[in-house]
Amino acid sequence: MKFLENPPRFLFFTGKGGVGKTSVACATALDLAGQGKTVLLVSTDPASNVGQVFGVTIGNTVTPLVRVPGLSALEIDPEQAAAAYRERIVAPVRGLLPDDELSGIIEGLSGSCTTEIASFDEFTSLLADEAVFGQYDHIVFDTAPTGHTIRLLQLPGSWTDFLEAGKGDPSCLGPLSGLDKHRSMYAAAVATLTDPARTRLILVARAQASSLGEIERTYLELNQIGIGGGFVVVNGVLPAVAGTEDLTRAVRARERAALAALPAALAHLPLDVLELKAANMVGIPALQTLFAASTETDESDTIGQTVDTGDIPDAPLAALVDAIERDDHGLVLCMGKGGVGKTTIAASIAVALAGRGHAVHLTTTDPAAHLTETLHGSVPGLEVSRIDPVEAVQTYRDHVMATKGTALDAEGRAALAEDLLSPCTEEVAVFQQFSRVVHESRRRFVVVDTAPTGHTLLLLDATGSYHREMARQIGDSLPFTTPLMRLQDPALTKVILVTLAETTPVLEAEGLQDDLERAGIRPWAWVVNASLAAARPTSPFLRARAAREVEQIDRVRLLANRIAVVPLLPEEPIGQEKLAALTALSPQPAR
């Protein structure tokens, strides 16, 4: 593997969600540890599943993996990090301030931006705190899906600039002096990230135009903040042992076309191609095969497995659209782990509703989503938009300055403008636009393609914080409806969890369902997308892959109120015609 040649101390794996970053990062950590190196494997993904891959509980403390000498792992847990961050701010003044003031500080530190900054604080210490992490030869980062990763990597520079210029006291972070103490650590983190001798960026993708386009955007954006170089890993390419049936030939053709049209910005970077394996990448033995070429002998233990066609439910996506349409308006939220096809499913539902004569607004809160590429043109009756963080922040800043700022003198306006430069402003600004979208669903269908799981939960946390503040201020004096109340009402909002029929995405979606239910939101339906088992393959390799899906589909059937299963298609569902066809598909009849 080119990306493993003369590796520096820090290796960052990033790319669109669901492309196999975790598998590649875990296999890399195993490979380095096998060479006698001391390795720390770190997940910065709020929806981390490193522990699931290794079959152990990891969490927010460094955990040695006893089966792999020299390898330890750490999952930066946002909630634990936020709790520790709050305690560091509150502990010095506990007992010194009145209870009401102390409660105000704690409330100010309960927002989603505090959670993100707390995680960022741990991230920078991994890059810069030699006293704690200096004993590791390599630190391997399995990062969050692309949009969140770019935001995280931008933060060291953003906060360094903010501390240099700022004298404000942003409540979501606690006293600014607490941040100021870490100024040198933030600066050291920036220096490490931008030094190719110390940090290597590995861009992971699938052999799909959208996935490769995503890592090109990531690469160019990271270049703008001084992170250069880079290696490309294309994961999950069909091997020769996959056979020659029609489905295989069609998938191979589109993979070849995608690789032949590699985006220009990536063409000069070193490239590695990893083959799809019959086995899921869960457990050490499976991970140790990831970098090896597939052979007939390697697959001999799986080729004999077949799919019990009776276990694949006939559950077309069209049935969900029928049920959604009965209400004549409402909010549809498509959620799930990055890379499972939320954008495709959201676009397909929106196109189907518009095709039936309804007014529909299709929008995304995902920083990495590109709805226009999926739709390939306009659709009558369908409005398409994106909640753009940059635009949202500027709109929010302008509004605050034009309202709150008008009553201030020059010095006060300068202080307010300075506070609005805080990177935390983005979360507030995006939340405001999200609230408007929720409100709009009272009169027409609004279909939302949400950000990957971790970012979505941060957004919902902001919604919950707003709800609690409204309830505190208004009390029982006046009736009110907050965005969270709309999300909790199944008559107004239908939450659809999108997953693949694979172990990790299903576990991730199950965890998301648990989190949503704690917030009083019960998912309305699950969609199992791109199911190989539902496509009824005939080649032994693909049938072996399909056999492993049946257990996961059964698991979804136990978890879901209702379910749809969308078969894997020979061609990517891009454009109005193909998206509309998705809502007419059902699992193929048994051959």
- Between CA 420 and CA 393 the distance in angstroms is 9
Instruction: DSSP letter for 241, please.
Output: G
Three-state DSSP class for residue 285:
helix
Instruction: Kindly name the residue from 14, 15, 17, 23 that is annotated as catalytic.
Output: 23
Residue 490 makes CB contacts below 8 A (sequence gap 6+) with 522, 524
CA nearest 390: which of 425, 414, 352? 425
Buried b (16+ CB within 10 A) or exposed e, 59-91: ebeebebeebebbbbbbbbbebbbeebbeebee
Query: C-alpha 26: how far from its chain's center?
Result: 18
Instruction: DSSP letter for 490, please.
Output: T
Instruction: Kindly name the residue from 14, 16, 43, 45 that is annotated as catalytic.
Output: 45
Told to judge if 578 belongs to the known catalytic residues of this protein, a careful annotator would answer no
Instruction: Kindly name the residue from 14, 15, 17, 22 that is annotated as catalytic.
Output: 22
What are the tokens at 406? 């008008």
Told to judge if 45 belongs to the known catalytic residues of this protein, a careful annotator would answer yes
Helix, strand, coil share (%) of the chain residues, nearest 5: 50, 15, 35
| Cβ(582)–Cβ(347) below 8 Å | no
> What Å distances lie between residue 3 and 32, 229, 233, 260, 465, CA to CA?
12, 11, 8, 20, 43
Told to judge if 504 belongs to the known catalytic residues of this protein, a careful annotator would answer yes
Residue 177 makes CB contacts below 8 A (sequence gap 6+) with none
Three-state DSSP class for residue 477:
coil
Instruction: DSSP letter for 388, please.
Output: -
Told to judge if 21 belongs to the known catalytic residues of this protein, a careful annotator would answer yes
Instruction: Kindly name the residue from 20, 111, 166, 174 that is annotated as catalytic.
Output: 20
Query: C-alpha 404: how far from its chain's center?
Result: 35
Instruction: Kindly name the residue from 18, 70, 338, 405 that is annotated as catalytic.
Output: 18
- Between CA 321 and CA 583 the distance in angstroms is 8
| Cβ(530)–Cβ(500) below 8 Å | yes
Instruction: Kindly name the residue from 15, 16, 21, 218 that is annotated as catalytic.
Output: 21
CA nearest 332: which of 464, 142, 524? 524
Instruction: Kindly name the residue from 43, 149, 158, 504 that is annotated as catalytic.
Output: 504
Residue 23 makes CB contacts below 8 A (sequence gap 6+) with 53, 235, 281, 287, 290
Told to judge if 18 belongs to the known catalytic residues of this protein, a careful annotator would answer yes
Strand partners, 493: 331
* Catalytic site positions: 18, 20-23, 45, 504
